[in-house]
Structure 1
Amino acid sequence: MINGFRITKPGILLLIGLFFITIIIAPYIAPFDPTDVKMGDRLKPISLEHFFGTDHLGRDVFSRILAGAQTTVGTSFLVLAISLLIGVPIGLVSGFVGGRLDRFLMRFVDAFMAFPDYIVAIILSGLLGPGIFNLVFAIVMVKWIGYARLARSTVLTEKQRDYILIAKVNGVGPMNILRRHMIPHVLGNVMVLATLDAGKIILMIASLSYIGLGAQPPIPEWGAMLNEAKAFFYNAPHLMLIPGLSIMVIVLIFNLVGDYLRDHYDVKNQNGGK
């Protein structure tokens, strides 16, 4: 629930379905080429021909918003996927094996957590230079840590359960314990964190692109579109309002989905608070 609004299962499926369908078919429903420059059409207002008007280079803003969704959101999914592939296995192994390996990995993680995510991402992006791939690398370096710590804490908790001790007494091997008992418990928590984190990653990608460290022209990206439009805010405020609202709506959708998943995987909630 978010501010008194509760999303239902049909609602969550509808949100996810509409979102992914829009992202997939974006190139086919865009009325114009998002990179096509037409100086004769620059700064046109909102109309039936150009639903969101045109920018300072005469490019259709509606088409760029659709293409920018693939860039911004697609990049966030790539960051999430890589972060999960790095962080979850490290957390699983660290928590399950324990000992010196656990202490070594956690000291490495603590070193990254000593600084705020945005600061580290900005520093890495600045050192590597602007570009989508450098941006992905920089954000992954600060995001995999949370998944490693979450997986580790979940494994440490489950290791103390009676059923794990019984499985060990019965001769169940470590790999089978991880596969059959640890991973299912970790996945639920990771899904919640990943969904909530997606909105934060989108904001991070957009903000870094806004300051010139992310997507470079003429690639359409919502944060870069905000940066390009700031010089024309008084004459054409919609050029900033539309990508800004797009970012806000997408982040809100991910927060609603994450809120639903958090309630769904809340054991106390499912058991009536017992």
Structure 2
Amino acid sequence: MINRLRTTNSVILLMGLFLIAIIIAPFIAPFDPNQVNMANRLKPVSLEHFLGTDHLGRDVFSRILAGAQTTVGTSFLVLAISLLLGVPIGLVSGYIGGRLDRILMRVVDAFMAFPDYIAAIILSGLLGPGIFNLIFAIVMVKWVGYARLARSTVLTEKQKDYILIAKVNGVGSMNILRRHMIPHVLGNVMVLATLDAGKIILMIASLSYIGLGAQPPTPEWGAMLNEAKAFFYNAPHLMLIPGLAIMVIVLIFNLFGDYLRDYYDVKNQNGGR
């Protein structure tokens, strides 16, 4: 129990520190992330350049910090839009049911017929490269998961006695959704969103790596990997550093998602006793 508590506190601390670093990145970056200086190209790690420089002499440490804002910030934006789109659709579909539910779920099934990555690549390819097209493409493949999760939770809850009693007492549908359904949905949605954040970060980095996401000179971890691949033998740190950054942040989000899943499982179990 003590070891588990320490692990939980460590995960929360890491998450907090990383988010703080992202927020204050512009203030702690020692150089302009887009400043080109060909006299300093491919410099190794040093006291002046903590993580060396890239093929255009740009400071890698500054670009990693700026890239965190682009990659992680974009993933948060994708998550927020997906939640705002998917959760209300799932709530309404599950609560009202009938023909509306069948129509909405057929739309959801159509989007879920293809793997996330394949659908995102196809949409990004059709729309063209760019960060806004990337956001749109990923939202289109992610909102359906939240809609289906919200719907399944509502379908389970609306059959319970307290919902039936609320209806008999004349409580309106909006009040039932707001006071009873949304609190039950939020826990499950938060767990899925935290676990999904790592997947979205990987998707953003992957699409940027193949040229469908952020475009140079925008500092983004996947785009940085793409730019560095030609210099892997001469300056391997240019690929290793953004690769490690992606791995670490995805691991942190997955650990935090596991913590939330365990927390809400325990909460639900205690509530059911």
Contact 1:72/1:222 (CA < 8 Å) preserved in 2?
yes
Unaligned residue ranges in structure 1 (runs of 5+): none
Aligned to 1:133: 132
* TM-score normalised by the chain length of structure 1: 0.95
Residues of 2 paired with 1:269 and 1:172: CA distance?
25
Aligned to 1:112: 111
1:255 aligns with 2:261: no
1:98 aligns with 2:97: yes
- Shift of the 90–180 alpha-carbon distance from structure 1 to 2, 3 Å rule, reads same
- Shift of the 104–7 alpha-carbon distance from structure 1 to 2, 3 Å rule, reads farther
Residues of 2 paired with 1:244 and 1:48: CA distance?
22
User: Which of structure 1's runs of 4+ aligned residues deviate more than 4 A?
Assistant: 4-9, 267-270
- Shift of the 272–93 alpha-carbon distance from structure 1 to 2, 3 Å rule, reads closer
- Shift of the 190–26 alpha-carbon distance from structure 1 to 2, 3 Å rule, reads same
| 1:156-194 deviation digits (Å, cap 9, x = unpaired) | 000111111111111111111000000000000000000
Residues 174-185 of structure 1: matches in 2 within 5 Å?
174-185=173-184
Residues of 2 paired with 1:56 and 1:19: CA distance?
27
Residues 69-84 of structure 1: matches in 2 within 5 Å?
69-84=68-83
Residues of 1 paired with 2:217 and 2:251: CA distance?
27
Residues 13-92 of structure 1: matches in 2 within 5 Å?
13-92=12-91
Residues 177-216 of structure 1: matches in 2 within 5 Å?
177-216=176-215
| 1:205-244 deviation digits (Å, cap 9, x = unpaired) | 0000000000001000000000000011111111000000
Residues of 2 paired with 1:195 and 1:115: CA distance?
22
| 1:100-126 deviation digits (Å, cap 9, x = unpaired) | 000000001101111111111001101
- AA paired with 2:112? M
| 1:49-71 deviation digits (Å, cap 9, x = unpaired) | 11111000000000000000000
Residues of 1 paired with 2:4 and 2:237: CA distance?
29
**Alignment RMSD (CA, Å):** 1.8
Contact 2:43/2:53 (CA < 8 Å) preserved in 1?
yes
Contact 2:11/2:252 (CA < 8 Å) preserved in 1?
no
- AA paired with 2:246? I
Identity among equivalent pairs (%): 87
Aligned to 2:263: 264
Contact 2:90/2:148 (CA < 8 Å) preserved in 1?
yes
Q: Secondary structure at the match of 2:34?
A: coil
Contact 2:121/2:207 (CA < 8 Å) preserved in 1?
yes
Residues of 2 paired with 1:206 and 1:214: CA distance?
8
Contact 2:12/2:256 (CA < 8 Å) preserved in 1?
no
Q: Secondary structure at the match of 1:265?
A: helix
Residues of 2 paired with 1:170 and 1:25: CA distance?
51
Residues of 1 paired with 2:29 and 2:73: CA distance?
17
| 1:21-65 deviation digits (Å, cap 9, x = unpaired) | 100110111111100011110000111111111000000000000
Residues of 2 paired with 1:11 and 1:169: CA distance?
48
| 1:54-91 deviation digits (Å, cap 9, x = unpaired) | 00000000000000000000000000000000000000
Contact 2:120/2:137 (CA < 8 Å) preserved in 1?
yes
Residues of 1 paired with 2:6 and 2:173: CA distance?
39
- Shift of the 25–128 alpha-carbon distance from structure 1 to 2, 3 Å rule, reads same
- Alpha-carbon shift at residue 16 of structure 1 (Å): 2.8
- Alpha-carbon shift at residue 8 of structure 1 (Å): 4.7
Residues of 1 paired with 2:4 and 2:70: CA distance?
30
- AA paired with 1:176? N
Residues of 2 paired with 1:7 and 1:156: CA distance?
37
Contact 1:264/1:270 (CA < 8 Å) preserved in 2?
no
Residues of 1 paired with 2:165 and 2:271: CA distance?
28
Residues of 2 paired with 1:102 and 1:272: CA distance?
29
- Alpha-carbon shift at residue 270 of structure 1 (Å): 4.2
Report how many residues are paired: 272
Contact 2:40/2:53 (CA < 8 Å) preserved in 1?
yes
Contact 1:7/1:260 (CA < 8 Å) preserved in 2?
no
1:239 aligns with 2:247: no
| 1:245-267 deviation digits (Å, cap 9, x = unpaired) | 00000000100110000001015
